[in-house]
Amino acid sequence: MLLDNKRIAIIGGGPGGLTLARLLQQKGADVKVYERDENKDIRQQGSTLDLHADTGLKAMIEAGLMDEFKKYYRPGADKMKIINRNMTIVYDDHQEKPEEDFENEHFRPEIDRGPLRDLLIASLKEDNIIWNSKFTEMKPSGQGWEVFFENGSSAYADIVIASDGANSRVRKYITNIQPVFSGITAIEINVYNAENNAPRLWQLVNGGKVFALENGKTLLFSAKADGTLSVLIGIKTTYDWLAKSGIDFKNKIEVGEWFKKEFSDWSPEWQEIFNNDEIWIMPRPMYHFPLDQYWNPLPNLTMIGDAAHRMPPYAGEGANQALADALELYEVLTSNLFTDLKNAIGFFEKKMCARASEITEITLQQTEAMHDENNLQLLLDFFNEAVKGF
């Protein structure tokens, strides 16, 4: 096996990196995940993830984790409503949604990020994850790399795999291709203890998802099992809007006042998002990498997930593509089809870039539709057509 007597360092302990570690561990590989979080109990932000049959779920099966996944996924979390700016429900599949069926290729079970991460962590040997290891730099060393961390430690690896997200610090060692602004900025918000802090919205979401949109603006809501309401506010902006807005996004009152003005023609009931102090807010300009990105493969370094192909979240593909990357990289590194690591990594990267390019293009089309002036009707048409196809 190409990995015999090789030390593998995965930088970043998100779903992609942890899944890859699990897969490699099953083959007896010497693999370590270096994660910047201090420990496994750090609270996970973000909405629920829906895993797809040909990507995320396929990786779970190959990792031998489907039984664990079924314990922690959230039945009914894929049910949704579409609502206009006046809080009128125009589409609701809570009654018509088919029962959960893992044999159905269209079934996309949802799981919160925290439980998914927890089950992946539990599947690894305890010493396979090195916590409190925030990457700072790496330098060539022999046939591999010496990797340095903010806590003053370092580690040698024959192969380094970047799984450190959209703002990857490792990517620059592979390519200098820069991301492209999508024209959309999102404000991600978590309202904790939402049943008490945002009762009207919590009831509206009803354990699933809500797409509220009209006139080019979007509010996306999803409920989490721990009682958190995740919100994603999407608007069209220039690339430098955040810097020029003058908004302190750590100040709930300032963000609430901006929202009241920006969504002044929407029902005031939406402002319940900000009527509490148990809230977390993070602005996220939406970027993607060029569809035709290409770099020359290296024999000891590659990347997966958002580090390789970040994209807006509106098609729900980010985590699924990261898990697909993990599975495909595992397959080439542990197969007998390649005589050396450079050819194996080159094969993987070519396939990954082609797949990610196609998915990014679809995602950008959906992102544009979600923020079109006629976005409400476009989304209704999309789901009505999808229902016909099932």
Q: Which ranges in 38-131 belong to alpha helices (H)?
A: 56-62, 66-72, 113-122
Whether 92 has a binding-site annotation, put simply, is: no
Whether 43 has a binding-site annotation, put simply, is: yes
CATH class name, domain 7-74+109-178+290-370:
alpha beta
Domain 180-288 fold? D-Amino Acid Oxidase; Chain A, domain 2 (3.30.9)
pTM above 0.85, yes or no: yes
Whether 113 has a binding-site annotation, put simply, is: yes
Whether 67 has a binding-site annotation, put simply, is: no
pLDDT at 84 over 60: yes
The pLDDT tens digits of the residues spanning 290-348 come to: 999 999 999 999 999 999 999 999 988 999 999 999 999 999 999 989 999 999 999 99
pLDDT at res. 44: 67
Q: What are the boundaries of each domain within the chain?
A: 7-74+109-178+290-370, 180-288
Confidence of residue 248 (pLDDT cuts 50, 70, 90): very high
Mean pLDDT (whole number) for 10-23: 97
Confidence of residue 99 (pLDDT cuts 50, 70, 90): low
Q: What is the mean pLDDT of the chain?
A: 94
Gap between the Cα atoms of 324 and 280, Å rounded: 30
Residue with tokens 């009682």, as numbered in its chain: 227
pLDDT at 97 over 70: no
Confidence of residue 87 (pLDDT cuts 50, 70, 90): very high
Instruction: Give the 3-state DSSP-derived string for 122-164, with helices as H, strands as E and coil as C.
Output: HCCCHHHEECCCCEEEEEEECCEEEEEECCCCEEEECEEEECC
The two structure tokens encoding residue 61: 């099966």
The pLDDT tens digits of the residues spanning 175-207 come to: 999 999 999 999 999 999 999 999 999 999 999
The pLDDT tens digits of the residues spanning 26-78 come to: 999 999 999 999 988 876 667 789 999 999 999 999 999 999 999 999 998 98
